[in-house]
Structure 1
Amino acid sequence: MTDWTVIASILAVLGIPYPARPGANPETLTDGVINSQVRLAYAGPTGMTVTWNTFYQLDSPRVNYGFQPHYLPFYAESNVSVTYDTALTYNNHVTLTGLQPDTLYYYLPEPLLFDNATVAPYSFRTARPAGDGTPYSIAVAIDLGTMGSDGLSTSAGEGVPPGAILGPNDNNTMQSLQAVIDTFDFLWQPGDMSYADYWLKEEIEGYLPNTTIADGAIVYESIQNNFYDQMTPITTRMAYMVGPGNHEADCDVGGAKDPAHNITYTESICMPGQTNFTGFINRFRMPSAQSGGTGNFWYSFDQGMVHYIQLDTETDLGHGHVGPEELGGVSNVDAGPFGATKNAQTDWLEQDLASVDRTKTPWVIVAGHRPWYLSYANVSKTICWDCKDVFEPLLIQYGVDLVISGHSHLYQRSAPIADGVIDPNELDNPSAPWYITNGAAGHYSGLSALAAPKPYQRFGLDVTDGVYGWSRLTFHNCTHMTHEYVASKNGTVMDTATLFKDRTCALT
């Protein structure tokens, strides 16, 4: 195997730039560099998948690991080093198996790009075993885009409302998560990473330098790489579990309009590699093989006293429902299907829910990108009625505790609801699922506006509040779970509510 790390180090000493994959030019990148973008994902109860990026395809991506930072006697290899048209890098995936649960491991992928080839080994902690009743928290950040000069910052382009920018002393959501990273076990992002497809909108509004449509693929990919670079302080340390959103489906371009030339851009400008979830498919390896799911689209995993389910609200809805479209927008998503049969996702969901051992994982938490209970003005573009028709009967039947979504760039905590009817017990031992929408993690175009509150809305924050934030879920025991909305700018908890379920604990 060619040792690209050694080659890169020699080139760095000689002052020669590290070469990119064929057809890519790192000199055109917005920030001028790409790091290895190391990221982790749970791979069953005793596994962890390590993913990182290189400029060249690797014959045998390798991860060394062990229990001490300077002694890594174990290793795992794979032959998975993949890319796609317009990508600037290759994505390397290696799964470590047979790990001890709830154990700290040190690891080092090889090769890494030269800019972080000398870093000390990273570390991660494996998942808690099912049935472990130790209290813990997780972080959920949906609709989280690129920060800084490529996205959300203290300035914006022409026509962007003031509420879309950060205050001069505000932390963004990535910084907020990093500040308390030792307080949660993993990060969950059910859709819409990077918002690289807003590049044309940002350019027309004078935020990004002008480029040609032909060079748009390079700008798109450089923003994507900037996002995953920025995420590495988090994704090198803990599992980063993701799901599909509409901005992974194709090149949305953010409703970009050029009034000077009376042009409204559509998905027709999307370059090869930016349609049908291509980047999303290549960049991640979620635990579908371990849970009987499909790719990065739908899967499940256990962590301690909780069973987590990631759903695909973008495609494969089944039962006569093809999938939602961005009605009235610039993009009619034409993606998938990814299941082997028309009802593959719902059939899997029912089997998965039926197999949950509630004595070991009494909590069942479901995430999907799009909501179906929301006080939002542009209902036709946001509410996923097809998702409600397909998923909700199963969530009610099997007693799912919480459904969390994003897509709308705001925060709404609702009451527990079953088929539109508010559970009379509210959060005191309801039989209906509790619904929370939090798509307020932040990206270039800012926050959205809530409409007049629906009867089931219990708390909301939107563009009028101008507060970006993320969700923290804390599982205290088998009967009590707390949701908090954490303001990214200063870490203040702006909303908190605790769900009680009357059941007997049999956890260790």
Structure 2
Amino acid sequence: MAALGAVATLLSAVSAATNNTINSQIRLAYAGDNGMYVSWNTFEQLSNPTVHYGLSPHALNKHAFSNLSVTYATSLTYNNHVKLTGLKPDTTYYYLPEHLLHEDATAYSFTTSRPAGDGTPYSIAVVVDLGTMGPQGLTTYAASTTSKNNILKPGEMNTIDSLTKVIDAFDFVWHPGDIAYADYWLKEEIQGFLPNTTVAEGYRVYESILNDFYDEMTPVTSYKPYMVGPGNHESNCDNGGTTDTANNITYTVDICIPGQTNFTGYINHFRMPSAESGGTGNFWYSFDHGMVHYITLDTETDLGHGFIGNDQVGGSEFDNSGPFNATLNAQTTWLEADLKSVDRSKTPWIIVAGHRPWYLSHANASGTICWSCKDVFEPLLIEYGVDLVLSGHSHVYERNAPLNNGVVDPNELDNPSAPWYITNGAAGHYDGLDALQYPLQNYSRFGLDTHNATYGWSKLTFHNCTHMTHEFVASGNGTVLDSATLYKRRKCSLKKRGSHRQQQHHHL
């Protein structure tokens, strides 16, 4: 309680300065088959966060509330979470949280998940390694160490712009790790991208970057569910090993502030359907949506033998992180049970996402590829016939062939028995894109990197129970630069149901 008192004092001091530049950061997340989490931020703690909702924007005749109004020592806001239950499937609802940070009281809207067994075609958007855009992130200028190829052209759309423009083209956004890149605040200052501040005041810069990102995402996340997973930039700050190349100085001291360590901001900001799927917090969970079973994995901690350490992934950002479940093999035990429980007659597709890849053509493979993830997850993904594995972490795009322990499936995309692997960490942040290693691995089928200087996101379209298409969408102009369709030979008993979905002008 003492910590909350200190936060309250801090909030009262900064709210006047930030109230004109922050919105309520409204975000949605599926909460089981018949529920939806509604989250938003306020400057003061709410005793009973409340959401009003209904089937008409003019009749919000139901309400739900909770006691979840949480924060941490250096946060400038409180995160409020309310779960709506008993909702009809595939139905548009209108809603309005109480105590928003702006005066506009127009109702927002969302559409609940499609029921398992619904064979109606649909698409989703996938982004990884997406940071804030604008003066504190990806923009028309860059740090001195960033390739000029990787800045935005004047008037060019960024990834958030691109998602907002085509928001009615996908059902939800999946973001498996590296959100906002607020932990880069000192690196951005050292490289001359942001003005210098003191370490003691660093939390203001960190929180400002977080708020910028969640504000920018609100036109999307207040309308479409935003399903997230943990990445290394949610784990801990990245400032302890920052190097000032121009002055030949390496900062090796740990200056991480509260909120940057142990996934603190990530834990407070989101509510994912782990309780509904037997998972753990915002770290690993699953959910059904139409003909697909989705699984979010945690590649940062709890890989069967405790949390990741320096000897496993070549980095030090995990030393203060996790594990988040005291039971050995907690995540893999859960994963196997979850995979066993999938009813392939209703959800024939199984799609898995985790932040770190284990198949990639990368020039710095020793610090990028997660061999522990491969050892722990791959046998289960093969055994239970997972169709597609998505990752990021490396800021490139690479579409690979279906692989079984590094061996290309002879059927390629024509009814393979092995999972298909795609890495797309090219959504964009201030530091630009990475380089693939040439020649590409023998399993690589298409790649984009810093030489192409193209930011983009993935669009997955499920046509029916046998065909699924992955597209790389260039954020700048919306063109599709890569497309491939996976075919699985199986019989289907799915039904296309009458939808309660309707086109409406959503609140922006």
Shorter-chain TM-score range: over 0.9
Distance of 1:104 and 1:382 partners within structure 2: 41
What corresponds to 2:88 in structure 1? Answer: 100
Alpha carbons 1:28, 1:218 under 8 Å: kept: no
Partner of 1:478: 465
Inter-partner Cα distance in structure 2 for 1:458 and 1:355: 33
Return the offset for 1:203: 1.1
439, 444, 448: which one pairs with 1:457? Answer: 444
Alignment-mate amino acid for residue 42 of structure 2: T
In the alignment, is the contact (CA less than 8 A) between 1:252 and 1:267 conserved in 2? no
Correspondence for 1:23: 10
Q: 1:86/1:423 Cα in 2 relative to 1: closer, same or farther (>3 Å)?
A: same
Question: Aligned in 2, Cα 1:377/1:259: closer, same or farther, shift over 3 Å?
Answer: closer
TM-score by length of 2: 0.93
2:506 match: none
Residue type at the aligned position of 1:105: Y
| Contact 2:433/2:453 (<8 A) preserved | yes
TM superposition shift of 1:22: 2.2
CA distance in 2, matches of 1:223, 1:397: 42
Q: C-alpha distance in 1, partners of 2:316/2:190? A: 16
The equivalent of 1:346 in structure 2 is 332
Q: CA deviation at 1:32?
A: 5.5
Amino acid at match of 1:380: S
Distance in 1 of aligned mates of 2:25 and 2:470: 30
DSSP-derived class of the 1:182 partner: helix
- Shift of the 100–351 alpha-carbon distance from structure 1 to 2, 3 Å rule, reads same
Q: Is residue 362–residue 436 contact of structure 2 (8 Å, CA) maintained in 1? A: yes
Work out whether residues 413 and 485 of structure 2, in 8 Å CA contact, stay in contact via their aligned partners in 1.
Answer: yes
Instruction: Give 1:67's aligned amino acid.
Output: L
CA distance in 2, matches of 1:338, 1:375: 31
Question: Shift of residue 163 of structure 1?
Answer: 2.1
Q: Distance in 2 between matches of 1:355 and 1:328?
A: 35
Residue number among 59, 63, 67 corresponding to 1:79 in the alignment: 67
Q: 1:494 aligns with which of 481, 496, 504?
A: 481
Partner residue in 2 for 1:356: 342
Give the letter for the 1:171 counterpart: M
CA distance in 1, matches of 2:337, 2:316: 37
- How far 1:252 moved relative to its partner? 1.0
Q: Report the AA paired with residue 394 of structure 2.
A: S
Q: Over residues 258-277 of structure 1, what are the superposed CA-to-partner deviations in whole Å (9 max), with x where a residue is unaligned?
A: 35765322471101121000
What's the counterpart of residue 285 of structure 1? 271
Kindly report which structure 2 residues correspond to 1:27-176, keeping only aligned pairs within 5 A, or say none: 33-113=21-101, 115=102, 117-176=103-162
Give yes or no for contact 1:133–1:305 (8 Å, CA) kept in 2. yes
Corresponding residue number in structure 2 for 1:469: 456
**Are the equivalent residues in 2 in contact too, given 1:473–1:482 (CA < 8 A)?**
yes
Distance of 2:175 and 2:132 partners within structure 1: 14
1:376 to 352, 362, 377: 362
CA drift of 1:201 comes to: 1.4
Change (3 A) 1:244 1:29: farther
How far did 1:31 drift? 9.6
| AA aligned opposite 2:430 | Y
- Name the amino acid aligned to 1:322: F
Unaligned runs of 5+ in 1: 1-19
Which whole-Å CA distance do the structure 1 matches of 2:455 and 2:253 have between them?
28
* Cα distance, 1:204 vs structure 2: 1.5
SS in 2 for 1:86: coil
Aligned to 2:308: 323
How far apart are residue 207 of structure 1 and its match?
A: 1.6
Cα displacement string for residues 289-336 of structure 1 (whole angstroms, at most 9, x for unaligned residues) = 000000000000000000000000000001x36325486656354311
Q: 1:423 to 1:267 in 2, by over 3 A?
A: farther
How far apart in 1 are the matches of 2:319 and 2:229? 16
Taking structure 1 as reference, are residues 157 and 75 closer, same or farther at Cα in structure 2, changes over 3 Å only?
Answer: same
- Report the aligned-residue RMSD: 1.7
Q: Give distance in 2, aligned partners of 1:370 and 1:217.
A: 27
Of 250, 260, 267, the residue aligned with 1:264 is: 250
* Pairwise CA distance, 1:412: 0.2
1:423 aligns with: 409
1:10: which partner in 2? Answer: none
Q: Does 1:365 align with 2:343?
A: no
1:156 Cα deviation from its structure 2 partner: 1.1
Give how far 1:85 is off. Answer: 1.0
Partners of 2:241 and 2:253 within 8 A in 1: no
Amino-acid identity (%): 67
- Looking at structure 2, the residues matched to 315 and 194 of structure 1 have their Cα atoms a distance apart, in angstroms, of 20
Q: Deviations over 1:33-86 (max 9, x none)?
A: 211100000000000000000011100000000001111000000000000010
Find the aligned partners of 2:32 and 2:350 in 1 and give their Cα distance: 17
Work out whether 1:246 is the aligned partner of 2:232.
yes
Q: 1:479 is aligned with what amino acid?
A: T
Distance 2:74 2:143 in 1: 26
Q: Is the 8 A contact 1:243 1:369 kept in 2?
A: yes
Give the CA deviation at 1:29.
6.9
CA distance in 2, matches of 1:478, 1:99: 26
Q: Determine the C-alpha separation between the residues in 2 that align with 1:50 and 1:64.
A: 11
Deviations 1:384-438 (A, max 9, x none): 0000000000000000000000000000000000111110000000000000000
Q: What is the CA deviation profile of residues 71-118 of structure 1, one whole-angstrom value per residue up to 9, with x for unaligned ones?
A: 1000000000000010000000000000000000000000111x2x32
Displacement of 1:189:
0.2
**Following the alignment from structure 1 to structure 2, what is the Cα–Cα distance between the partners of residues 95 and 474?**
28
How far 1:159 sits from its partner (Å)? 2.2
Residue among 180, 193, 203 paired with 2:179: 193
Report the alpha carbon displacement of residue 158 of structure 1 after superposing the two structures with TM.
Answer: 1.7
Paired residue total = 486
The answer as to 2:397 corresponding to 1:397 is no
What amino acid does structure 2 have at the position aligned with 1:413?
R
Point out where structure 2 has 5 or more consecutive residues left out of the alignment. Answer: 1-6, 496-508
Contact 1:66 1:72 in 2 (8 A): yes
